[in-house]
Amino acid sequence: MSDNLLIFIMSEQPTQCPICLTRTDLVADFAHTNFKGKIEECLNWECKYLFIEQEDLD
Ligand SMILES: [Zn+2]
């Protein structure tokens, strides 16, 4: 897995790809760890963008 995934703060559900706005699929959920993020993959097979989603926590 790439070490340089970009992190996006998400407040809207469902999560959309930041590149093409397609729905994304949850690859790995670290929401219950100190990392507090999820790895999401774009469902658009021409895009397949992989990114980290973090919820907008106060
Ligand atoms: Zn995409």
pLDDT tens profile 1-58:
556 889 998 777 789 999 999 999 999 998 888 888 999 999 999 999 999 998 776 6
Vertex 10 angle, CA 5 and 14, to 5°: 105
- Give residue 58's pLDDT: 63
- Give residue 2's pLDDT: 53
pTM: 0.80
Core vs surface per residue 9-48: b (16+ CB within 10 A) or e = ebeeeebbbeeeebebeeeeeeeeeeeebbbbbbeeeeee
CA of 53 to the centre of ligand 1 (A): 14
- Give residue 21's pLDDT: 95
- Give residue 27's pLDDT: 96
CA of 34 to the centre of ligand 1 (A): 27
- Give residue 36's pLDDT: 85
